[in-house]
Structure 1
Amino acid sequence: MTPPATPPSAGPAEALVDLDAYRANLAVLREAAPTALQMAVVKADAYGHGSVEVAASARDAGAEWLGVATVEEARTLRRGGDTGPVLAWLSPAGADLAPAIDADVDVAAGSVAQLDAVLGSGAAKRPRVHLKVDTGMARGGVRGAELTALFEAARDAQRAGRLEVVGVFSHLACADEPASPVNAAQEHAFADAVTELAALGVEPELRHLANSAATLTRPSVHHDLVRVGIASYGLSPGPLLGTPADLGLTPVMTLRTALALVRRVPPGTGVSYGHTYVTKRETTLGLIPVGYGDGLLRAASNTASAWVNGQTVAIAGRVCMDQVVLDLGDTPARRGDEVVLFGPGDRGEPLAEDWAQAAGTIGYEVVTRLGGRIVRRYAAGSRPAQ
C-alpha cells in the first residue's frame, strides 16, 4: 500500500504506522528468545503508535501476551476486542481493579499493601496475580523482609482460594548496558527470590525479567516469558546495542507533514522566537504546521533536522507550540510538499533516535509524546511515496 505524498487534511501532520514492520520486528525478537513466550508491551498507547491497532497486530504475529502499565489501558484493549492474556503491572492507590480482573486481566502486586488492594477489589472472579520483586532497580516491588511478607501473604491467599499466583517478575535497570555488573546482580537476586517463593510451596507458571535489551543480549534471563517493548517498534533500546539496522529492526512510525508556507529571505533574517537562528545567506524558509503542542521536542530547536524533496534540512530557530520553521537552503520546494520529520531511514530521512540525540533524550520519548493534532494512520507494508 502506497500512501499519498501529502498527509490527509484531517490534521496538520500524520504518524504513519507500518504494521508489517511491527510484526517483522516481533519475529526478530522471537528469534532472539525462541524458548520463551513473548509479551508485546503496548503501554502508553503502544509507545505512541496506537494500542488497539498494534495489539491486534501483535496477536496476529503470535504474541502470547500483551503488557500494559495500568488497568485502564488493559480495559481499552478489551473494549477493542482483545481476549488473550494481558498483564497490567501498575496499580496506583485507589485504582478500581475489579473491572479489569473480571475482564480476565492479570494484575501485579509489588507489596503486601498492593496485594491487599487486589484481594479487596470486590471482583467477582478470582484475581490472577504476578508478584513484583525489587532486584535492584528500587522502582517497584520489594525485597528482604518485605518480600518475604509479600510471598507469605500470597501463598496464604492462594491456599484459601482467593487468588492465583500466575507469575513472579522484576525489571532490569541496566540491560541497555550489557557489560554492567548490575545485570548479573539482578539476575542472581531474581533467582534467589524464585527459590524463596518455591520454598513456600508456590511455583508460578511464569518467571519474567527480560525487557527488549535483555531479550536481544542476555539469554540467561529469558526464563518463561520476555517483555518486548521499544525494540518491537523498531527503535534501539540503547546506543551501546547499535542502531535499529544493526539489530535487524525497522522503525515502525513515520512522522510527516507538508509545507504550509515557502518564502525566500535575505541574509541576516532572524527566525522564530528570540531570533536564536539567523540566516547566514539568502535562503528559502519553509513552515510546517506542527510543534511542541503536538509532541515535538522543543529541546530539538536549532539541532534536529527533517527531510524535504530528497534533502536533509535544518530546524531553524525554536520549535513553537504549533509551528516549526525549516531552512530549506536552495532546495526546490513549494507549499504542499511532503516533509518527513523521522521515519525508517530508507530514503535518508532522520530516525527517531536522531531527534532524540538532537534533544538530549531517548527515542522512547520522541515517539511516546506525540499527540495533540497528529493523525495516526495504519497500513501494512507502507512507506511514504518515493
Structure 2
Amino acid sequence: MSETAKTPADPPRARAEIDLAALRANVRTLRAKAPGAAFMAVVKADGYGHGALACARAAVRAGAGWVGTATPEEALALRASGELPADVRMMCWLWTPGGPWREAIDADLDVSLSGEWALHELVGAARAAGRPARVQLKADTGLGRGGSQPGADWRRLVAGALEAEAAGLIRITGLWSHFACADEPGHPSVAAQLALFREMVAYAEGQGARPEVRHIANSPATLTLPEAHFDLVRPGIAMYGVSPGPALGSSADLGLRPVMTLTASLALVKHVPGGHGVSYGHHYVTPGETTLGLVPLGYADGVPRHASGTGPVLVGGKWRTVAGRIAMDQFVVDLGGDEPAPGTEAVLFGSGDRGEPTAEDWAQAAGTIGYEIVTRIGARVPRVYVNE
C-alpha cells in the first residue's frame, strides 16, 4: 500500500482557527466597560484552549497591562518566552506546597497567598533569592474555594504579610477575591461578597497594607457590575468571545465576537439503507435511505460525548445533528441524502457569521457551559492563528 503526502492545499483533518483580531476587539470592548480600571487578560488553561502566548500577545497589543494564569508553571512559561513586554505584570494564583516560589520571585511574578503555610514557604524563598516577592493576598468573600476566611484567618494572614513586608521580604501588591454568582444577575451573594470584600480590604489597609491594585471583577462582573471594578478587572472567557452565562445573553448580545472556529474535513460520505444502526450502541437508526458523513473528531479531541445525538454541525450550508454516539476519534452526521464530497468542511462551531453553530450552542447541546467547550479542545487539533 502506498501513501501520498498531503500538499498544503489538502484539507486538514481538523483545525481550530483562532481569530486574534476578534480577541483584540473583545479586549477593547471589555476595557470600555471599565475605563477607570487596569485590565488583566486571563490566559489560564492555555488561553482557554486558544493558545496562551498568542492570546496574551494580542491582549497586550489591545491594551492589557496585566496577564493572569492559574498555575505558576503557566506564568513562568509565558515569562520565559520573552515575547511579552517586561513592564507587563503577571500574576498566578493556584499554589500547592513545594511550588516554584523561588522561580516565581526571580521571574518577577505576582503570587497569590490564601494561607499562612504559603506565606511561610514564600518568605523562605525570598530570603534565598535575596529580593522581595510580589504578593497578592486573596480573601474568601463567599466563593468557598481559595482565599483566606474573614475574621481570625484574615487577620493572621494580613499580620504575617505586613511583618514580612517590614522585614523587606515581600511587597503586598494586591488584595483580591472572586465572585461565586456574578453570572446570575441579582443573585444576593453578589452584593454580600462586595460588602465583605470592602470590609476585608479596609481592614488590611487599616493595618498598613498599601496595595497597588484591589480586584474582584471576573468576566460577568466586568460586563455588568461597574461597582465591582475597583482598580483592575480580570476578564477570562469573555475575552475569547464566549458568554459567561446564558442569563447574561449570548456573546452577540454582549458585543463580543467568538475567537475560535473548530472545523474538520469529512472523511467519508456513504449511502445507507433505512434501519441502519449508527455508531456504538445503535442509539441512532436511520429512518430511511440516506447518506452519512463521517467527521474525524471525537471525545479524544475534546468533542463532548454528552452531545451525542444533539451536537450541531454545519455541513454544506445546513445544520446537521450528531447521529448516535460520539466516539473517541470520530462521529457521524446524517446528511439526509445530500452528497458533499469527502474533504468538505464540517464546522462544529465558530462566530455564527456563516450560520454555523457557536460554542454556546454546543454547551446547550451537552448540558454544560461554553468555557468547557473551548478549553477541552485537545492538542491533536492544531491551532491556526489568523489576523495576528
Pick the TM interval, shorter chain. Answer: over 0.9
Residue 269 of structure 2 corresponds to residue 265 of structure 1? no
Cα deviation digits, residues 197-233 of structure 1 (max 9, x gap): 0111112110000000000110001000000100000
Residue in 1 aligned with 2:108? 104
Residue in 2 aligned with 1:65? 66
Q: Is the 8 A contact 1:17 1:376 kept in 2?
A: yes
In structure 2, the CA distance between the partners of 1:124 and 1:379, relative to structure 1 (3 Å rule), is: farther
- TM-score normalised per structure 1: 0.95
- TM-score normalised per structure 2: 0.95
Alignment RMSD, CA only?
A: 1.5
3-state SS of the aligned residue for 2:335? strand
Residue 145 of structure 2 corresponds to residue 139 of structure 1? yes
3-state SS of the aligned residue for 1:165? strand
Q: Is the 8 A contact 1:98 1:124 kept in 2?
A: no
What code does the residue aligned with 2:303 have? L
Residue in 2 aligned with 1:372? 379
In the TM superposition, residue 130 of structure 1 has moved relative to its aligned partner by 0.3
3-state SS of the aligned residue for 2:234? strand
Distance in 2 separating the partners of 1:191 and 1:340 = 46
In the TM superposition, residue 79 of structure 1 has moved relative to its aligned partner by 2.2
Structure 2 gap segments, 5+ residues each = 1-6
In the TM superposition, residue 330 of structure 1 has moved relative to its aligned partner by 2.8
Q: Is the 8 A contact 1:158 1:165 kept in 2?
A: yes
1:264-303 superposed matches below 5 A = 264-303=271-310
Q: Is the 8 A contact 2:305 2:325 kept in 1?
A: yes
Q: Is the 8 A contact 1:259 1:286 kept in 2?
A: yes
In the TM superposition, residue 123 of structure 1 has moved relative to its aligned partner by 3.2
Residue in 1 aligned with 2:93? 89
What code does the residue aligned with 1:43 have? K
Cα deviation digits, residues 133-175 of structure 1 (max 9, x gap): 0000110111210010000001111111110000000000000
1:351-370 superposed matches below 5 A = 351-370=358-377
Residue in 1 aligned with 2:210? 203
Among 157, 166, 185, the alignment partner of 1:159 is 166
In structure 2, the CA distance between the partners of 1:78 and 1:317, relative to structure 1 (3 Å rule), is: same
3-state SS of the aligned residue for 1:374? coil
3-state SS of the aligned residue for 2:21? helix
Q: Is the 8 A contact 1:172 1:210 kept in 2?
A: yes
1:155-234 superposed matches below 5 A = 155-234=162-241
Distance in 1 separating the partners of 2:106 and 2:133 = 8
Residue 112 of structure 2 corresponds to residue 125 of structure 1? no
3-state SS of the aligned residue for 1:347? coil
- Greater relative contact order (CA < 8 Å, ≥ 6 in sequence): 1
Residue in 1 aligned with 2:120? 116
In structure 2, the CA distance between the partners of 1:274 and 1:66, relative to structure 1 (3 Å rule), is: same
Residue in 2 aligned with 1:384? none
Residue in 1 aligned with 2:33? 32
Q: Is the 8 A contact 1:11 1:373 kept in 2?
A: no
Distance in 1 separating the partners of 2:287 and 2:205 = 69
Q: Is the 8 A contact 1:352 1:367 kept in 2?
A: yes
Residue in 2 aligned with 1:245? 252
In the TM superposition, residue 125 of structure 1 has moved relative to its aligned partner by 3.0
